[in-house]
Structure 1
């Protein structure tokens, strides 16, 4: 085993924290604590599609989605109103940071970290929600994480929660994190906060609500640092604050399945349920996969390609461009798709197959129906002003500012801090950040 550079690695994911947030973060006292004493990466290039579950699987594996297997947030279940998510550890191919840390006889904890259901983590409260009417939220969480640990957290702090509503959910996660640091002192702790992401989705990128969430995150970071100090492990700890993707404002939803239905590429029954499909547009918000049910159906493939070529020449189609499955794989996305499409600025994709091809989205829509949003992600990492951010301080970190790294580089670098390896990864160890 390699020499460990730290005893405790605390990875805090502030979902949807953007490189553009730096001017605000640098003036906040707790973010300043990290920035003034540690390393700062000005721009972290995310992955494609830049949605939360693939991003978090990339952070812990150092690999692109087509390699680790989590190619979208949700599964391909055409027509299902609320598809299932990639909740479980077995959705990830290959090893992870927490697997390798556990193998090295160190302790692990994860709080609402995506794709950790049923993972081999000592103290695990996975991100998973009751997705069917007969499911109970607490039971679903208990069954897929560490039961006794979660029961204690629910007994102590459950009163803070209001279901999945923000900011109360993150406030509950914060108290649970502080308690875990003080009572378990894990060698690796990974925590995922979604307050900012939620506010940006429903109120817009630069909304007052989003700015208020960043202020709350500053407070949360401060409480975590304070807990490390109270536990007596601060001097031997490394604190990392990072984002997984940025977001872009949009006000129009593109429903390509509406056109597929008109061309009889998918069909529905009298109740409006999909009963058969030849082609299906699977949303990743700012991008989408197009799947052909029968891989040998060249007629459907050609029909879809002709439609896409027509649409990208129409400035009002909402589609900026498309890739073949092979080209999508070269960018790290799912190579089993027939095509991958990218939304133009101001647009995003939904999976509706009834109604209008393009639906204007208003604030009222976003407030009334969780399907509609005013900002989202999933776009290509090549999009302008779309980078995320990383900052780290403490043991094993060199005070340095780097212009850029890639999201795939984070996992190998975190593994090196704890003296383990993720093996042959798409990303590399950013040795410039590390104090050996």
Structure 2
């Protein structure tokens, strides 16, 4: 298969929305990308539309049910901070970076989700210390490329303030620029989360979110400049994309509160979960409902009736109940009993305490108890698309793709590098490519 580019740079701006496109067109570096590039401002995301499944989809071209990363975090009832799908082995198929390595290409990834312990030459995985006895630097070093990360931390670690934004993305940017200049990878995957964080805690169209988009424009410009200074710009393809959009909400739904009241989640006198028959696993704008024992017909009937009844009253914030078959047809986990989709203005948490419904205050958002905007919703929601922009080697100039899907991105990237991802759910967007 003919290779169309020597260097592919994929920049994921987490939570970049189709609604942001008019603003991007006016910012200098995004404008520069679009001047000779091509784009789609109507990219359909996956279900559930949360970050880790989205990024696994981008590098595999598959839906969550087929690549195995069906949520951000695992079912760990009662844990305030469940473990995430941090590690490469959770992806059940090959990936773009696996195939690049097989062909002898140099690979690099900075905070790209689901890359812990991946076979990537220069790997700084997105992972955080999730136990009291863990230390952030040690956790990162153990699950990525140690000497590379030590070097980046030595140079730029002073810029970070834990996981706070925009400092974390500033650190990632400087590490990216250094990586381009010194490593010149054939495949570079970069994940920026500044915008996503600002939208969660300040709202979709907040001043903080708009400021983050402007910071992203500066970051894009720095990456362009690094490619030019390293002498590889003319042989590079630059992709800027979003993984999902977000929607504002003012109320939070807590289904596990009801499941606990009905005795389907059992806790001890200290509130610790000791057993469960049914559990709601949140995806923010949607949620999986699971039963522990698939042969427990009584629990299945009880839980199904409970949520179908709740959905009859729109004040409960449940827009729709999807059967496991319907959820699977959308690409979600077929092992759930069903999925619930939140009505716009609501989102779902899998906590067990408090009221079933809670109004969200600004104090809640400031203390990060709840958020003011979320993703995870069905891609069928109105104004919920994301974007894809491409320029450089192998990309036709000034092509506007009317519509594409997140699953199409991986096969398209593979085609640019002359790779094959095998049996994917998406297809190469050939109208973009200069073949």
TM-score of Structure 1 vs Structure 2, range by shorter chain: over 0.9
CA distance in 1, matches of 2:94, 2:125: 18
Residue of structure 2 in register with 1:267 after alignment: 266
Runs of 4+ in 1 over 6 A off after TM superposition: none
Partner residue of 1:386 out of 377, 384, 399: 384
In the TM superposition, what is the alpha-carbon distance from 1:351 to its structure 2 partner?
1.0
Q: Give the match's secondary structure for 2:402.
A: strand
Aligned equivalents of 1:162, 1:57: Cα separation in 2 = 27
Query: C-alpha separation between the residues in 2 aligned to 1:46 and 1:23?
Result: 20
1:140 aligns with 2:142: no
Distance (whole Å) between structure 1 residues aligned to residue 154 and residue 340 of structure 2:
46
Distance 1:353 1:102 in 2: 44
SS of 1:275's partner is: strand
Matches within 5 A, 1:114-125: 114-125=113-124
Deviation at 1:324, TM superposition (A): 1.3
Per-residue CA deviation, residues 331-379 of structure 1 (Å, 9 max, x unaligned), is 100000001000001000001212100011111101113x410000000
Are 1:95 and 2:94 counterparts?
yes
Instruction: Give how far 1:65 is off.
Output: 0.1
Q: Which structure 2 residues correspond to residues 21-420 of structure 1 after superposition, within 5 A? A: 21-369=20-368, 371-399=369-397, 400-420=399-419
Q: Deviations over 1:181-207 (max 9, x none)?
A: 000000000000000000000000000
Other structure's SS at 1:348 match: strand
TM-score (norm 1): 0.99
- Partner Cα distance (1:68, 1:306) in 2: 31
Work out the CA distance in 2 between the residues paired with 1:158 and 1:213.
Answer: 21
User: Offset at 1:326?
Assistant: 1.6
SS at the partner of 1:133? coil
- Where 1:316 maps in the other structure, the secondary structure is helix
Give per-residue Cα distances to partners, 1:85-133, cap 9 Å, x unaligned.
Answer: 0000001001000000010110100000000000000000000001111
> Aligned partners of 1:352, 1:82: CA distance in 2, in Å?
11
Paired residue secondary structure (1:251): strand
Secondary structure of the corresponding residue to residue 4 of structure 1? coil
Distance 1:53 1:367 in 2: 25
Deviation, structure 1 residue 239: 0.3
How many residues matched?
Answer: 434
SS class of match (1:109): strand
- Once residues 60 and 152 of structure 2 are traced to their aligned partners in structure 1, the CA distance between those partners, rounded to angstroms, is 28
Partners of 1:315 and 1:3 in 2: CA distance: 54
Q: Distance in 2 between matches of 1:134 and 1:262?
A: 34
Query: For 1:220, what is the secondary structure of its paired residue?
Result: helix
Question: Aligned equivalents of 1:29 and 1:306: distance in 2?
Answer: 54
Quote the offset at 1:319 in angstroms. Answer: 0.5
- Residue 85 of structure 1 aligns to a residue whose secondary structure is coil
Distance 1:320 1:181 in 2: 46
What runs of 5+ residues in structure 1 fail to find an aligned partner?
A: none
| SS of equivalent to 2:266 | strand
Measure, in 2, the Cα distance between the counterparts of 1:45 and 1:315.
Answer: 26
- Tell me the distance in 1 between the aligned counterparts of 2:325 and 2:400: 36
Give the gaps of 5 or more residues in structure 2: none
CA–CA distance in structure 2, aligned partners of residues 50 and 216 of structure 1: 24
Say which SS state the counterpart of residue 205 (structure 2) adopts: coil
Distance 2:315 2:334 in 1: 28
